[in-house]
Amino acid sequence: MNVIHKKGFVMILHHQFIDSAKKYGRKVAVIDTATQKTYTYNQLLIAALIFANKLKHFPEKHIGIMIPSSAGCIISILGTQLAGKTPVMINFSTGAAQNTEYAQLKCSFLTFITSKKLCEKLNVPEMPGMIMIEDIIKDISPVDKVKAALMAQMPGSFIKKAIPPADENDDAVILFTSGSEKDPKAVQLSHKNIGHNLKGIPILFEIGSEDVFAGNLPYFHVFGLTVTCFLPLYLGGSIVTFANPLDYKQICDGIKKYQITMIVGTPTFFHGYLKKAEPGTFDSCNIMMAGADKLPNHLRNEYMNKHGKVLLEGYGTTETSPVISVNNFEFNKPGSIGKPMPGTQLKILHVDTEAELKANEVGKVLVKGDLVMKGYLGDYEQTKLHIRNGWYDTGDMGMIDDDGFLWHKGRLKRFVKIGGEMVSLVQVEAALDELLPEGTICCVVEIPNPVKGADIVAALTDKEIDFKKIQQKLRKVLPAIAIPKDFFTVDELPLMGSGKVNFREVERTCRILHNKRQLGKE
């Protein structure tokens, strides 16, 4: 589906939702698997207008949202935007209370919407500014419903004029970086930023109002928010929400039951789906897209061999709304992270000299285009450090080949200097993936070495592996300094709520296990 916009088209996300609601009024917009409730576009618009009326009286510009992927979360996001405010998405998976306080301080707000069920499940104490979505719903009067229903019947242009004015350069949402490597930063994404993805993705894939999207990712993660929330609402598609992204069985059952046509996720999540899938589970899926972490070759091969499905791979960051590059069915080079999105410029710079590199040379990946964030809220120094002359420094290493495909070579922070040589931890992981048994997940990190500065070690989820044999095989494909000096087994690799590996926690665990092992030898 190629979406054609008129000259002078302005992308404002909640305005696009209003347009979709007017066009697809009786069509199913959201199926909430947690509550078993279904919302048409018209019903979703009425609910969002009711929430907007409740939220517009709060004096703050920002409103926090801490709710699992659900119709309630979508309504809260839209209601906040329709009220002329900016939703701040709070990660509840890595410390709900702590992350809420961090967000409140960072973004200067008090009020946040959450769920009683979530707070009970996570033992979140009563906090200043906390509003339960259940209480908002309970407080809705018949008058509120009638007023919103009457407003929803008005032409879209009337509704847009009746709500607070908006500009495409306004903040559409505040998201936080993953915190997998250091403290999270508050990312300001404008309507124009996210709109770049919404306009570009349909150019690359045949998707539209007939598609059913899996709402399997948390909305506090940009991949989930853009691709599994704003994109389907923009296109007039349907969303099937799943509150728990780790309930692989429920998601697999939902894919089959609701005939989901597009599903995206991290490689870790796709590992989980593969374990719970049955023959025919993915028959309805036209697009299966992995991102956020490197896609192992064996996982790609398993989807093809077991289910006859092409597992595509893309690349993005929170700061780029998120998609920078992607493989599609027209151009797909397995192992690469695809070609740049329409309207996106890429360049590769030398790490030290910052000279622009030629094809097939590895350096820092920089991105330019409307997808690049406005900046880090309240952090002018970090913003200027990462964005120079419109170019965003991703912090990733990569190269562009002769055919224009981008290849990810790892985070700059995931390169280790050993004996004066730079070693890519991602490259070591890729070599390990080729040798490990099916279903085994690995993560390679560095730990301090008083003589060499650092050692490379690996955490694996398989206790039956002969580590000496693995090391011997690795010597055939990696230089000696890149061979992990030790292996540690863990039941599961610690993850961020988005499904990305929590590198800081893996490193901390490996240091503890290493120290225990050293003490045992003494």
168: left (phi over 0), alpha (psi -120 to 50) or beta: alpha
Higher pLDDT, residue 503 or 390? 390
Which one, of 435, 439, 422, 448, lies nearest residue 510 by Cα? 448
What is the reported pLDDT for 155? Answer: 96
Tokens 């709402």 correspond to: 215
User: Distance between CA 381 and CA 384 in Å, rounded?
Assistant: 5
Q: What percent of the chain has pLDDT over 90?
A: 67
The CATH number of the structural domain formed by 419-521 is 3.30.300.30
Structure letter (DSSP) for residue 482 = G
The pairing of strands 453-460 and 442-449 is: antiparallel
Q: Assess whether pLDDT exceeds 80 at residue 438.
A: no
Tens digit of each residue's pLDDT (9 = 90 or more) over 238-253: 999 999 998 999 999 9
Question: What average pLDDT does the chain have?
Answer: 89
Tokens 């399997």 correspond to: 216
Q: Chain centroid to CA 210: how far?
A: 24
User: Distance between CA 183 and CA 290 in Å, rounded?
Assistant: 25
Which one, of 499, 172, 189, lies nearest residue 318 by Cα? 189
State which fold the 10-191 domain adopts: Rossmann fold (3.40.50)
Burial 370-404 (b: 16+ CB within 10 A, else e): bbbbbbbbeeeeebeebbeeebbbbebbbbbeeee
Domain ranges of the chain: 10-191, 419-521
Continuous H helices in 172-311: 191-204, 222-225, 231-235, 248-257, 267-276, 297-307
Tokens 């973004």 correspond to: 107
Amino acid identity, position 136 = I
The segment with the largest mean pLDDT, out of 62-71, 453-462, 505-514, is 62-71
Least confident span in 209-218, 359-368, 375-384, 501-510:
501-510
Cβ atoms within 10 A of the Cβ of 136, count? 18
What mean pLDDT comes out for the span 54-60? 93
User: Distance between CA 319 and CA 316 in Å, rounded?
Assistant: 8
Burial 12-34 (b: 16+ CB within 10 A, else e): bbbbbbbbbbbebbebbbbbbbb
